Amino acid sequence: MDYDRYDRIRALQWQGTALRLLDQRRLPMEEVFIDCHSAAAVAAAIANLSVRGAPAIGIAAAYGVVLAARQRTSADGCIDRAGLAADLRELAASRPTAVNLCWALKRMQRLLDAGASVAALAAEAVAIEREDLAANRHMGSLGAALIAPGSGVLTHCNTGSLATAGFGTALGVIRAGVASGRIARVFNTETRPWLQGTRLTAWELLKDGIDAKLIVDSAAAHLMRTGAVQWVIVGADRIAANGDTANKIGTYQLAICARHHGVKFMVVAPASTVDRQT
């Protein structure tokens, strides 16, 4: 797998004292980065969609905890626990639908409860980011292996490097499938109302040199009926313990159409997206 070609985009970059985010509201017309120096800035970036995608939100929140701990620790090493708790609540409230956010915050909270240093917290956030990238690449390989050579695939919303630490979940499978020669046709929906498919997924595919067709959301069923699509591949915002999946509006109708037309349906997500409490 040529990751130098298919995994070049990084929407989150830890700078040591700040979290640099590619402002996804400005894509595809402009590539503008935002430097977040506080938990409040990270929470605002999550809430206003500068950073989006369940895995990316979790990673950003983990770095937000690092920034909060640094800001709330005095020169003599004393920590403002009340202020730190407020920062974590603000991060948790920034996107309650993304279970990865709560998962990452709980993981960081365990270290805080154990009295971890800012350096230890930063190391944990880096580990969360690296684990996500490794999981995405592994899922890409596993998912691509299920796809018969010459297949057409359709994806919805944005599930690529912009939504994760890198490579992507559903888009990672597509990248791996294209690289291995299994995927012959790629279709991505515009994804109304925020047009993540038009603005973000199409941009990523162009960056990678992957030949893809952008379609209006309402054309998906036609492509399935005519045999152009053999797989629908999507990500997930949250997966319940029984396998029920919450994802971008429009995913349900794709699942119904796929079932009706005998098209296979794949949900690609890391373990952190599974909410075992539901």
Give the domain CATH number at 238: 3.40.50.10470
The catalytic position among 35, 208, 237, 275 is 237
Q: What is the pLDDT of residue 78?
A: 78
Asked if 81 and 41 sit in the same domain, the reply is: yes
Residues 6+ apart with CB under 8 A from 95: 46, 47, 57, 101
DSSP secondary structure code for residue 200 in this structure = I
Q: What is the pLDDT of residue 81?
A: 87
The residue behind tokens 């009295």 is: 115
Asked if 70 and 33 sit in the same domain, the reply is: yes
Asked if 101 and 226 sit in the same domain, the reply is: no
Asked if 157 and 108 sit in the same domain, the reply is: no
Spell out a b/e string for 139-176, using b for 16 or more CB atoms within 10 Å of the CB, else e: bbbebbeebeeebbbbbbbbbbbbbbbbbbbbbbbbbb
Q: What is the pLDDT of residue 75?
A: 81
Label residue 227 left, alpha or beta by phi (over 0 means left) and psi (-120 to 50 means alpha).
Answer: left
Number of structural domains found in the chain: 2
Q: Which residues pair with 232 in a beta bridge?
A: 154, 265
**C-alpha span between 237 and 225 (Å, rounded):** 28
Asked if 180 and 117 sit in the same domain, the reply is: no
Domain boundary, last residue among 105, 133, 161: 133
Token representation of residue 71: 């800001």
Q: What is the pLDDT of residue 102?
A: 93
**C-alpha span between 58 and 227 (Å, rounded):** 37
Domain boundary, last residue among 114, 133, 152: 133
Domain boundary, last residue among 90, 105, 133: 133
Asked if 126 and 205 sit in the same domain, the reply is: no
Helix crossing, 81-93 with 54-71: angle to 10°? 160
Residue 237 is among the residues annotated as catalytic for this protein: yes
Mean pLDDT by 10 residues, the chain (278 residues): 90 97 97 98 97 95 98 84 94 90 96 93 98 98 98 99 98 98 98 96 96 98 98 95 95 98 98 88
Domain of 212?
A: 137-275
Asked if 141 and 262 sit in the same domain, the reply is: yes
Asked if 142 and 262 sit in the same domain, the reply is: yes
Q: Provide the CATH number for the domain around residue 45.
A: 1.20.120.420
Amino acid residing at 128: I
Asked if 115 and 28 sit in the same domain, the reply is: yes
Q: What is the pLDDT of residue 139?
A: 98
Asked if 156 and 235 sit in the same domain, the reply is: yes
With beta carbons less than 8 A apart as the criterion, state whether 213 and 186 touch. Answer: yes
55 preceded by a cis bond (ω within 30 of 0): no
Q: What is the pLDDT of residue 277?
A: 86
Asked if 150 and 266 sit in the same domain, the reply is: yes
Asked if 129 and 167 sit in the same domain, the reply is: no
